Amino acid sequence: MTAATHSTLFPQVPDSADAVLEGLDPEQREVATALHGPVCVLAGAGTGKTRAITHRIAYGVRAGILQPSSVLAVTFTNRAAGEMRGRLRQLGAAGVQARTFHSAALRQLQYFWPKAVGGGLPRIIDRKIQTIADAAAACRIRLDRNELRDVTAEIEWSKVTRTVPADYAAAAARAGREAPRDAAEIAQLYATYEDLKRDRAVIDFEDVLLLTVGILQDRHDIAEEVRAQYQHFVVDEYQDVSPLQQRLLELWLGDRDSLCVVGDASQTIYSFTGATPDHLLDFRTRHPGATVVKLVRDYRSSPQVVRLANGLLSQARGRAAEHRLELISQRAPGPEPVFAEYTDEPAEAEGAARRIRDLIATGVPAAEIAILFRTNSQSEIYEQALADVGVPYQLRGAERFFDRPEVRKAGIALRGAARFGANDSLLDDAVDLPSQVRAVLSGEGWTPTPPAGSGAVRERWESLAALVNLAQDFAATKPGATLADLVAELDERANAQHAPTVQGVTLASLHSAKGLEWDVVFLVGVAEGMMPIAYAKTDEQIEEERRLLYVGITRAREHLHVSWALSRSPGGRPGRRPSRFLDGLRPGSTAATGRTAAPGAGGVVRGFSTAAPAVLSRRTSRTPARCRVCGRTLSDPGEMKLMRCDDCPSDMDEGLYERLREWRAVQANRSGQPAFCVFTDRTLIAIAEAVPGDAGELARISGVGVRKLNRYGTDVLAICAGRDGAGEDEDG
């Protein structure tokens, strides 16, 4: 058989229940065949838990033990639910409900609200922050933007932990939460927020669960109707359930025990939202007769990556650590993880971007590379660094694939061609399905060669290219398939949100990377103060940060790069040190004090020691940057660009700034990149304040590197001199 017949996109549907079990390892098979009574699956990272539970459901359906419509599989993200529906369809178990807690609850709430309450369900507000701001105004409490966000998080935590306003102060103290304001003030804001929602006849995201729980508790007839519909439950990522979600699950179950839960206490990373692994760890206590299966065969990561992950958890403390799973890699050996130290954060970003560019040049697909960071605020510097070296990227959490305008238009075009293709001259020379798709999508902007640069034009091309690749895989596994067949497949995938792969390096926070994997992972900013984050103070908070790093490490299949910077900004004091979590794990360090990794051993890379000595020399020779207005030492990257404090007065030439913005817009449009990839707003402000007269003065402005100086310098200097910057945009 050819490789195409084994495509993971379009596998052949198993022809029997027993065929569903083929290819499962002994532990996965135990999960798949344990169809009666409570089942608890303790599944380590990369051990095939989704495979095990989807095959379990499919085996039960195909064997006639489970009715598809009676199964409710609960996940924590729409993406995971869509993936599960797609897998079940491929296994011949279409019709099983796979939803998030909120999606399942909302469906029930909309159906039963007229019967339980009367009238239509109140409108759900998309963002509660404005209503909370209104509550603060009503209470005459002033909140800045950060406090408003933190108070919102406290109210959300209160609701998912089933804490009412009057009990907030005591509950927060018991949980060890550091309230952003006085606890009495937060309780007052919480109560006023609830009053405002009631007055405005609206509900929020958490109310969907609370109201569903309330109806099922109060109306036994409705609860029995739900239980008659759903006989069997599967809950993925069970370590992340909140008390409110657990209560809803109990109401769905009633006095039955047909429940399978799957989780890993070592991947509990959402406790700040109310999630707790206690429900997973106490499962045997609540269900003494439960079947417990441990999955420890890691099919995702190389032995080298697994060794690092196991080593990290071996130093963990606390209840979750007592139940950690020792992973055993099932893959061939790979390279040792690389540890890299840089002088500052821009150097770290540039180093990662260059390594990624080189990996892509050797044939590694951009879609198989990810940069993972602790906070979303770290993203921008990596976006800029990747744009500077011409590497396309995509932000995790961006618009869903099938919701993109170009994908919707392409779907319309393909549907039209499927119906009326016989009269379309575009298809005259198309001899098979892939060539037909290429012909149709060429009218939507697809070309055999990708456009230069990154940005919107490249992103649109990548979307269309993903559809072209999908058509090739579909035709390879289903010979004789027509355009109409492909359109039907796309419709099913859209309904399941089962998107094809889009080419581009993924930028994501560690939290949003949960459940994903790549061939190559760059873990960046792994320094004290960022990992663990500075505000993690208690032992429990520190251990959750360790688990977050564990999640990051276990996203990598083969190549893992771990890096940190000694200072935040160029010229800053090099006072940072690598994360304590790396002590005893990076070569040359010890668990007790390990300050510096020894060079040479275990794939250690010492910053720019071999990659770019000239850049290192230029960076380390700088003196500390000081505000040119007040003389204060600068450390913020934005202030470093301007060479002044944000609060100090600006002497910017407003007219020059506007001319630079107009010129930038032309350049961005010409190259198909976002405007910030030419120059950020901060850099334009810095140029308009400095008004450089020659290349040397322009080069001294932060954000104007050698590449951009060569590419845009002539234009920028001409604009600064009062002339038109009309030079052609050429790659340099």
pLDDT for position 626: 62
Question: Per-residue b/e over 92-109, b at no fewer than 16 CB within 10 Å?
Answer: bbeebbbbbbbbbbbebb
User: Which position has the higher pLDDT, 572 or 732?
Assistant: 572
Q: Is 455 annotated as a binding residue?
A: no
Rounded Cα–Cα distance for residues 189 and 186 (Å): 5
The answer for residues whose C-beta is within 8 angstroms of residue 68's C-beta and 6 or more apart is 61, 93, 94, 95, 96
Domain limit, last residue, from 275, 295, 315: 295
pLDDT for position 458: 59
DSSP 367: G
Strands of 232-235's sheet in order across: 97-100, 71-75, 232-235, 259-263, 39-43, 291-295
Span 146-174, mean pLDDT?
89
Span 447-476, mean pLDDT?
74
Q: State residue 98 phi and psi, 5-degree precision.
A: -120, 110
User: Which residues are 41's β-sheet partners?
Assistant: 262, 293
Instruction: Report residue 459's pLDDT band, with 50, 70 and 90 as the boundaries.
Output: low
| pTM of the shown model | 0.66
Q: Is 176 annotated as a binding residue?
A: no
Same domain, 416 and 391: no
With vertex at residue 373, the alpha carbon angle to CA 368 and CA 379, rounded to the nearest 5 degrees, is 90
Instruction: Report residue 629's pLDDT band, with 50, 70 and 90 as the boundaries.
Output: low
Span 424-428, mean pLDDT?
69
| Domain harbouring 669, CATH code | 1.10.150.80
Question: Quick one: the chain helix, strand, coil %, rounded to 5?
Answer: 50, 10, 40
Instruction: Report residue 319's pLDDT band, with 50, 70 and 90 as the boundaries.
Output: confident
Rounded Cα–Cα distance for residues 445 and 429 (Å): 19
Same domain, 101 and 240: yes
Span 572-598, mean pLDDT?
72
Rounded Cα–Cα distance for residues 360 and 538 (Å): 41
Domain presence at residue 5: no
Domain presence at residue 205: no
Same domain, 508 and 390: yes
Span 219-241, mean pLDDT?
93
Instruction: Report residue 728's pLDDT band, with 50, 70 and 90 as the boundaries.
Output: very low
Q: Is 45 annotated as a binding residue?
A: yes
What is the enclosing helix (H) or strand (E) of 508? Answer: strand 505-509
pLDDT for position 163: 92
- Of 66-75, 78-87, 279-288, 645-654, which gets the smallest average pLDDT? 645-654
Same domain, 99 and 141: no
pLDDT for position 179: 77
Residue found under tokens 């079990």: 21
Domain presence at residue 426: yes
pLDDT for position 261: 94
Same domain, 37 and 102: yes
Instruction: Report residue 676's pLDDT band, with 50, 70 and 90 as the boundaries.
Output: confident
- Give yes or no for residue 497 having a pLDDT over 50: yes
Same domain, 250 and 390: no
Q: State residue 72 phi and psi, 5-degree precision.
A: -120, 115
Rounded Cα–Cα distance for residues 613 and 170 (Å): 57
DSSP 606: -
- Give yes or no for residue 642 having a pLDDT over 70: no
Rounded Cα–Cα distance for residues 607 and 347 (Å): 8
Span 232-241, mean pLDDT?
93
Rounded Cα–Cα distance for residues 143 and 156 (Å): 17
Span 409-431, mean pLDDT?
78
Q: Is 49 annotated as a binding residue?
A: yes
- Give yes or no for residue 494 having a pLDDT over 80: no
- Mean pLDDT: which of 357-361, 598-602, 712-716 is highest? 357-361
Domain presence at residue 303: no
For residue 565, CA distances in Å to 175, 348, 560, 598, 601 come to 34, 6, 17, 17, 20
Q: Is 48 annotated as a binding residue?
A: yes
pLDDT for position 188: 93
The answer for residues whose C-beta is within 8 angstroms of residue 35's C-beta and 6 or more apart is 56, 59, 60, 65, 66
Same domain, 76 and 225: yes
pLDDT for position 500: 60
The two three-digit tokens of residue 361, written as one number? 């040049």
Domain limit, last residue, from 474, 496, 518: 496
- Give yes or no for residue 623 having a pLDDT over 70: no
Residue 563 sits in which domain range? 326-399+503-582
Span 395-406, mean pLDDT?
66
Domain limit, last residue, from 200, 230, 250: 200
User: Which residues are 675's β-sheet partners?
Assistant: none
Distance of CA 598 to the CA centre of its chain: 33
Same domain, 480 and 518: no
Query: Number of folded domains in the chain?
Result: 5
Same domain, 384 and 257: no
Instruction: Report residue 37's pLDDT band, with 50, 70 and 90 as the boundaries.
Output: confident
Question: pLDDT tens digits for 333-392?
Answer: 999 999 999 999 999 999 999 999 999 999 999 999 999 999 876 877 888 888 888 888
Span 399-427, mean pLDDT?
76
- Give yes or no for residue 290 having a pLDDT over 50: yes
| Domain harbouring 101, CATH code | 3.40.50.300
Domain presence at residue 309: no
Q: Is 50 annotated as a binding residue?
A: yes
| Cis check: omega of the bond before 450, within 30 degrees of 0 | no
Domain presence at residue 376: yes
Domain presence at residue 442: yes
For residue 218, CA distances in Å to 212, 294, 463, 471 come to 10, 38, 48, 51
Positive or negative, the CA dihedral 671, 674, 679, 684 is positive
For residue 6, CA distances in Å to 29, 55, 82 come to 21, 17, 21
pLDDT for position 604: 25
Span 179-187, mean pLDDT?
86
Same domain, 556 and 681: no
Instruction: Report residue 397's pLDDT band, with 50, 70 and 90 as the boundaries.
Output: low
User: Which residues are 533's β-sheet partners?
Assistant: 529, 530
Same domain, 490 and 406: yes
- Of 67-71, 423-427, 693-697, which gets the smallest average pLDDT? 423-427
DSSP state letters, 86-113:
HHHHHTT-TT-EEEEHHHHHHHHHHHHH
Question: pLDDT tens digits for 498-525?
Answer: 556 667 899 999 998 988 999 999 999 9
Q: Is 478 annotated as a binding residue?
A: no
For the chain, what percent of residues have pLDDT higher than 70? Answer: 85
Question: pLDDT tens digits for 43-60?
Answer: 999 999 999 999 999 999
Q: Compute the mean pLDDT over every residue in the chain, rounded to the nearest whole number.
A: 82
Same domain, 409 and 393: no
Which class for 592: exposed (0-12), middle (13-18), buried (19 or more C-beta within 10 A)? exposed
Q: Is 120 helix (H, G, I), strand (E, B) or coil?
A: coil
Domain presence at residue 643: yes
